[in-house]
């Protein structure tokens, strides 16, 4: 996303990333650069370079995400209130309340008077509050963290692993939940060698030995695809290729017990087309030209991932013994896949692609998270439950009406019921998955259709606590049993 150091801090670098900026926008960013440079005068980073270089790098990272100019200006000044003598009043006078409020939000995320586990938990809590208040504050912090992790070699060795692990477990997970695939991958890859050095070396070795489809063979496939798609009048915006990120590769290798022969997507082609209809037409043309690998087709357009990701995925035999993954999506889907929530907050997108109501829906899980964290008393529970309920691999299942419900991997019908409404969970009498009656503890799989049967006389059993996966379901079950314990115990002893 950005180089490790920024010796060139000319605002023109940011302007080049945002070609449609007005002169007023440019003046704001230039003013923020000058203001931050003066405020941080004389301050140095551990690398020995001026501290201003870091905040400028944060601004560049925000510009790459195509964020609005107020957010970019706030990113450039994100450490001014915390690390310099500039006051909130002075900043408000120069830049107005909105930008100052963004900087204040980032400052609050940075001020922690705790240590150890407590510090980590309080950091998380502050993230959640900031997310519910203004998601831009969190995006600034993620772009700040990206440059910090890219320059981690200058930090004391005893701090490197802690910072890198926090980046993988918190910042990258947040980026993922916000649909910001590019930022997530860069955070993970930068932190990977500091957290798991041996695994990093092994992954690099395996990557170098995989011998994915050659560049020459890829070019032949691309040329054949372009010719065939043109014959069938499928419009193409462009065809790109991507190499799988190292941390993502390691995660996949772990799932396959380090068997590299089961990795098909080291190299992938991305076909960008104008409309959704073109995606499916292109898929038909591709499958007519190349034989698809069985079981390797996924339709994330009809059923998007929980973070909003949409694309068609297929893997083909290229004809010379190689396999190649092909992803087909529209330009808007690609923007969403790369930048997630940021793609709806950019200076040229506000009010265009997504309404305020839709935007709130996209980050509605942050409010659930805020409500959830109020009920977690112990720091150890907070971290373990957080990973289970919000940052774990997700499954998405359906109600009988076709509404998508996003749950942690390993969830049961009980978790599903409580995610719909606590009253439904409290009175489950049975469950059907894909039309068949199943035990309540049955683990849900992607694309299952769940129907919950409810009876007023039914009530939670103590064994449900072990059958449930999510903290919210477990808490609701305990709460019901506590409030109705005498009655439940009476029935249990019959």
265 is catalytic: no
Give residue-wise pLDDT tens across range 50-97. Answer: 999 999 999 999 999 999 999 999 999 999 999 999 999 999 999 999
Which of the residue ranges 223-232, 313-322, 368-377 would you say has the lowest mean pLDDT? 368-377
Instruction: DSSP letter for 454, please.
Output: E
- Residues of the chain above pLDDT 90, percent: 50
Q: Smallest Cα–Cα separation from 140: which of 54, 69, 75, 70?
A: 75
Residue with tokens 């959830």: 372
Is 127 in contact with 174 (CB distance < 8 Å)?
Answer: yes
What six digits make up the tokens of 132?
Answer: 């519910």
Give residue-wise pLDDT tens across range 205-257. Answer: 888 877 667 778 888 899 999 999 999 999 999 999 888 899 999 988 888 78
Annotated catalytic residue: which of 8, 41, 70, 83? 83
Residue with tokens 């109705």: 484
Q: What is the β-pairing status of strands 404-408 and 436-438?
A: unpaired
Which of the residue ranges 1-10, 107-116, 326-335, 394-403 would you say has the lowest mean pLDDT? 107-116
Domains of the chain: 12-193 (1.10.3210.10), 205-340 (3.30.460.10), 392-492 (3.10.20.30)
pLDDT higher at 45 or 118:
45
pLDDT higher at 367 or 139:
139
| CA 481/CA 484 separation, integer angstroms | 5
Helix (H, G, I), strand (E, B) or coil at 22: coil
> Is 347's pLDDT higher than 90?
no
| CA 247/CA 168 separation, integer angstroms | 10
Is 218 in contact with 324 (CB distance < 8 Å)?
Answer: yes
Strand order from edge to edge, sheet including 267-273: 238-243, 267-273, 323-330, 312-317, 298-299
Give residue-wise pLDDT tens across range 396-452. Answer: 788 888 777 878 888 999 999 998 888 999 999 999 999 999 999 999 987 789 999
Host H or E run for residue 97: helix 88-110
The 8 Å CB, 24+ separation contacts for 148-151 are 148/54, 149/187, 149/190, 149/191, 150/2, 150/3, 150/4, 150/190, 151/4, 151/5, 151/45, 151/46, 151/47, 151/54
259 is catalytic: no
Residue with tokens 């605002």: 11
pLDDT of res. 126: 61
Q: Name, of 207-211, 321-325, 352-356, the range with top average pLDDT.
A: 321-325
Give residue-wise pLDDT tens across range 460-472. Answer: 998 999 999 888 8
Is 96 in contact with 377 (CB distance < 8 Å)?
Answer: no
Is the model's pTM score more than 0.85?
no
Annotated catalytic residue: which of 8, 27, 34, 82? 82
For 34-48, give the secondary structure using H, E and C. HHHHHHCCCCECCCC
For 268-317, give the secondary structure using H, E and C. EEEEEECCHHHHHHHHHHHHHHCCECCCCCEECCCCCCCCCCCCEEEEEE
């Amino acid at each position: 996303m950005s180089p490790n150091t920024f010796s060139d801090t000319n605002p023109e670098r940011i302007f080049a990333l945002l070609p449609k900026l007005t002169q007023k926008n440019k003046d704001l960013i230039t003013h923020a650069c000058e203001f931050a440079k003066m405020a941080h005068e004389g301050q140095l980073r551990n690398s020995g370079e001026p501290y201003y270089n870091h905040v400028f790098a944060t601004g560049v990272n925000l510009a790459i995400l195509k964020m609005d100019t107020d957010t970019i200006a706030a990113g450039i000044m994100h450490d001014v209130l915390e690390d310099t003598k500039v006051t909130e009043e002075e900043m408000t006078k120069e830049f107005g309340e909105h930008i100052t409020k963004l900087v204040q939000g980032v400052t609050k995320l940075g001020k922690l008077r705790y240590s150890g586990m407590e510090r980590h938990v309080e950091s998380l809590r502050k993230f959640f509050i900031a997310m519910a208040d203004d998601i831009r504050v969190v995006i600034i912090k993620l772009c700040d963290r990206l440059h910090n992790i890219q320059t981690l070699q200058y930090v004391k060795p005893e701090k490197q692993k802690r910072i890198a692990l926090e980046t993988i477990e918190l910042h990258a997970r947040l980026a993922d939940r916000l649909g910001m695939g590019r930022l997530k991958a860069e955070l993970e890859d930068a932190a990977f060698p500091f957290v798991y050095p041996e695994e990093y070396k092994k992954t690099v070795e395996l990557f170098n030995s995989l011998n994915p489809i050659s560049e020459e063979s890829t070019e032949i496939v691309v040329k054949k695809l372009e010719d065939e798609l043109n014959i069938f009048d499928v419009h193409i915006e462009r065809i790109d290729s991507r190499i799988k990120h190292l941390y993502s590769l390691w995660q996949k290798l772990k799932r396959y017990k380090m068997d590299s022969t089961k990795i098909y997507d080291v190299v992938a082609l991305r076909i960008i087309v104008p409309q959704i209809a073109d995606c499916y037409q292109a898929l038909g043309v591709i499958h007519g030209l190349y034989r698809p690998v069985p079981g390797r087709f996924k339709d994330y357009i009809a059923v998007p991932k929980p973070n909003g990701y949409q694309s068609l995925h297929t893997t083909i035999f290229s004809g010379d013994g190689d396999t190649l993954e092909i992803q087909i999506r529209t330009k808007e889907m690609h923007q969403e896949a790369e930048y997630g929530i940021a793609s709806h907050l950019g200076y040229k997108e506000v009010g265009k692609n997504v309404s305020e109501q839709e935007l709130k829906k996209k980050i509605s899980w942050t409010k659930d998270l805020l409500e959830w964290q109020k009920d977690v008393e112990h720091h150890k529970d907070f971290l373990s439950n957080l990973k289970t309920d919000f940052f774990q691999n997700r499954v998405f299942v359906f109600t009988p009406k076709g509404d998508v419900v996003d749950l942690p991997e390993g969830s049961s019908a009980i978790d599903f019921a409580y995610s719909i409404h606590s009253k439904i969970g409290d009175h489950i009498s049975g469950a059907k998955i894909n039309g068949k009656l199943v035990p309540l503890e049955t683990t849900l799989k992607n694309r299952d259709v769940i129907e919950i049967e409810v009876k007023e006389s039914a009530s939670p059993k103590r064994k449900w606590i072990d059958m449930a996966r999510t903290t919210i379901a477990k808490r609701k079950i305990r709460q019901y049993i506590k409030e109705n314990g005498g009655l439940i115990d009476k029935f249990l002893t019959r």
